[in-house]
Structure 1
Amino acid sequence: MTLTRTEIEEAAEALATAADNVTPVDQLTTRYPGIDIGDGYAIQQVNLRRRLAGGRVLVGHKIGLTSEPMQALLGVDEPDFGYILDDMVLAAGASVAAERFCAPRVEPEVAFLLRSALRGPNVTVEDVRAATEAVAVSLEIVDSRIRDWKLTLRDTVADNASSGAAVIGEWIPFDHNVDLQTSRASLSVNGIEVAAGLGAAVLGDPAAAVAWLANALSAFGTDIEAGQFVMSGSFTAASFVQPGDIASATITGLGDVSLTFT
């Protein structure tokens, strides 16, 4: 870490204000040229603690930048992670005001619901499969409090991995017959397919992304707790949405889920 504690608090406050006012701010890496990944996660944690102190509940975790399309979109070569709170989960088929977000995009993912905790380091794909109770098709609404999505990995990490909200479909009991690597995801906006991809695009296997997260969180003394879910990362690049759009995701074997932006 290179930023002072005061700078970390200032950056966290700027992002919190941007979220509250739905008014993006300039890149943190411009304001704080020395910021590193450790600083980004420290900023993220400040806002997580603030939200929890305000009564919110941590219900899940998100992994970002797991697929080549998303890494290429932001010019990075490694995943990142963020948190999902109870007020970030939207009902399947629901409507949400687009003005709730700064510049929303949608992406199709598999969500993992855990029956037992995962504690890194050294969590394997088999550990993830053994700990998983169910999986579901999901739509993540990614959003950037950084103006015009002009950001680096350090910016998006600080901004809770650009997380906005999540919509989760029907939970499907998980067993070894569920093949997520070859599952195909289709992302549609207003009934038109805008992107498609296979589960293997997500670090080779969406379960591998969950294992990566459990091991990454261990550096922060954090477990993925039983009963929490994990958004394992997008199969495709993300697509922008605007008021009036209906976004939907379909994953073979898991069904579909949709959300309307008003």
Structure 2
Amino acid sequence: MIHPSAIVHPGAKLGENVHIGPYSIIGEHVEIGDNTRIGPHVVIEGHTRIGCDNEIFQFCSIGAPPQDKKYDAEPTRLEIGDRNTIREYCSFNVGTAQDAGVTRIGNDNWIMAYVHVAHDCQVGNHTIFANNATLAGHVHVGDWAILGGFTGVHQFVRIGAHSFCGVGTVLLQDLPPYVTVSGSPAQPHGINSEGLRRRGFSSAGIMAIKRAYRTLYRSGLKLDEARDKIAEIAAEHQEVGIFLDFIAHSARGIVR
């Protein structure tokens, strides 16, 4: 299933039923799992491992060296899970020795055109990145997060699970789970209640998350005071515990 014009290094490891499109280049240290389809004019290089049942569209750059002046050709890695859709002109870089040494993208992600995932980013499962969403280095993205088109994320920012960024959002601080933001810089606009309903959250759980959100963003309390009140809600609702833990461990400070 390799087009005659494609260049595949003999050292590359390809699974069963892998398709490699015209003029694509697969490097020596690349591993590609079963049933993954690589479109035309794709370059996959570096120490890159791609799982099963992925589809990577044309003109993507996967596993290139990071855009980091400190990088000195260390054998850092890029790992991509299973069942991801990666559309045209995306670029994903390997990690750096200054972090864990690996950039990771999980499973079942929907990644649209022109998305950039920089070195050492850690992307979870079931995320959606709309066109031109961009992650700087060391960004962590939780499961089910949605980044609108042209979202820009500062380095070292964490994005919580089930959160939602509107089009053109600029994230300079951590975004707690469940919260919807937009603007430059990002401003909070409630919780992603529709997304939570679609994913099976109970009405009671959603109401508890709304209470926690109002406590943090609408009560006028200082952050420490709000955390104490949210802890009372979290004692009865596990969903809020995730929200509280994220806030407690934010190194950059949260969008507020």
TM range (shorter): under 0.3
Higher-helix-fraction structure: 1
> Whose radius of gyration is greater, 1 or 2?
2
TM-score (norm 2): 0.25
Higher relative contact order (Cα pairs below 8 Å, separated by 6+ residues): 1
Under a length normalisation based on structure 1, what TM-score does the superposition of the two structures give? 0.25
